[in-house]
Each structure stands twice: as structure tokens, then as C-alpha cells.
Chains A and B, each alone.
Chain A
């Protein structure tokens, strides 16, 4: 089973910040939080990852709570092209079984 809980769907107005929550209350000290998204029928695409500090790249920001039991992915200025399913995953930062949950379907409204 996935170690994360995400809302099944969310709406966001175009141009606004989209804030996608993820709960991972059983995260271990050596597990990272990774975010991916899947647009339409394409393969998932990496967005960002982090351990305990907040992270930012050209696509998004990742805010991880101090207790690391939850995180938020922020798309600062959502566009219609950001409509996708967003997956939050926790995993040790080496490769092993990677379990995807059902993700959050984000709808960007014009």
C-alpha cells in the first residue's frame, strides 16, 4: 500500500497558486518525499523531491512540515497545462520498490 494520503481531486483557477497536500504520517527518518505528475496518458514526470528542508526548482516548491508528517507541493502560477494527476511518494533515497498511490487530479479552471 502507498504510504501517502492525497485528496482525490482539486480545482485551481488559472494564474493562481495551486497547493497540493500530502500526508505521510508514517515516514521514516531516511525517507524522502518525491512528487511526480502525469499529464493525460503520458508517463509520469518528476517534479521535485526533498528530505526535510523546503525545496524549490523551476517547476514548483515543496514545503515539508517540521515533523515531516505532511508536505505541500506548490505550483506558483498554475496554467491549463498543469492539469494532471499529481503523485506524492515517500521512499528511501536509493532504488527499491516504489509504490504510487492514486494521486490528486488537479483541474485548472480558465
Chain B
């Protein structure tokens, strides 16, 4: 998976608790993304980052915050988890590569269940 890890891979938590998901890369790519995937919705962009401390909102950012203090780490935080945030979360990284342009590489995913 092109040097991308996500942790934890599975998590079950209760409604109202804070949750932080971590994406770690060893590729030194500039851009990082968080997506969620739910049945019938495909991949939806939550937040993305175009550099250390530079982040922006995606299409479904409500209820989520992110931080990027180092190039290699992009954290996604659910301040107070809700059942609607039960989903599979994918991290992706990207940077210019000759031949494939700004190809995105995806992590293995984190399955989050909020009870």
C-alpha cells in the first residue's frame, strides 16, 4: 500500500466519545486525504491537507477535525462520535509522479463502529 498505514484498523466506540484515527506515510508525499465510505455512497472526501498545518474541508466535514503537524502524519478526530459516523475510513496520499501524474495511493482502511 505504498507506505501508508492506518491505525487502528478496527475500532468500536460508544456514542459521545472522542475518537482519533491516524494515517502515517513513509513516502514524503505532500498531499493527504481522509475519505469515508458507506454503502450506496461511494467514497466521500472529509478533509484534505496540502502541507504541514495546511488543511481544508471536503464534502462531508461536519463533525470531523484534522491536524497535520508533520509531513508523515494526518490525524482525523471525531470530537463526539455519533452512530452516523459508523463507516470505513480511508486515508490517501498523493504527489507528482512522472507517468502517473497526481496518482492517489490509498491506505488499508479503518473500520469504525459507533454504538
Q: Which residues of A contact B (CB under 8 A)?
A: 32, 34, 36, 38, 41-46, 49, 85, 87, 91, 93-103
Q: Which residues of B contact A (CB under 8 A)?
A: 1, 30-31, 33, 35, 40-45, 48, 50, 56, 58-59, 88, 90, 92, 94-95, 100-109
- In the complex, the answer to whether A100 meets B42 with C-beta atoms within 8 Å is yes
Q: In the docked arrangement, what's the CA distance between A93 and B99, Å?
A: 12
Nearest-neighbour CB distance to chain A for B104, whole angstroms, equals 7
Nearest-neighbour CB distance to chain B for A20, whole angstroms, equals 15
Residue numbers in A under 8 Å from B31 (CB-CB): 95
Residue numbers in A under 8 Å from B107 (CB-CB): 43
Query: Main secondary structure on chain B at its contact with chain A?
Result: strand
Nearest-neighbour CB distance to chain B for A83, whole angstroms, equals 17
Q: With A97-B45, A100-B44, A103-B42 as known contacts, state yes or no: A44 contacts B106, CB within 8 Å.
A: yes
Residue numbers in B under 8 Å from A49 (CB-CB): 100-101, 103
Q: In the docked arrangement, what's the CA distance between A32 and B50, Å?
A: 19
- In the complex, the answer to whether B50 meets A97 with C-beta atoms within 8 Å is no
- In the complex, the answer to whether A97 meets B101 with C-beta atoms within 8 Å is no
Nearest-neighbour CB distance to chain A for B11, whole angstroms, equals 16
- In the complex, the answer to whether B88 meets A36 with C-beta atoms within 8 Å is no
- In the complex, the answer to whether A100 meets B50 with C-beta atoms within 8 Å is no
Nearest-neighbour CB distance to chain A for B31, whole angstroms, equals 4
- In the complex, the answer to whether A95 meets B106 with C-beta atoms within 8 Å is no
- In the complex, the answer to whether B94 meets A99 with C-beta atoms within 8 Å is no
- Of the listed residues B43, B50, B95, B101, the one surrounded by the most CB atoms of chain A closer than 10 A to its CB is B43
- In the complex, the answer to whether A44 meets B48 with C-beta atoms within 8 Å is no
Q: In the docked arrangement, what's the CA distance between A44 and B56, Å?
A: 22
- In the complex, the answer to whether A94 meets B44 with C-beta atoms within 8 Å is no
- In the complex, the answer to whether B106 meets A45 with C-beta atoms within 8 Å is yes
| 4 residue pairs, one from A and one from B, having the closest CB atoms | A43-B106, A100-B43, A95-B31, A102-B42
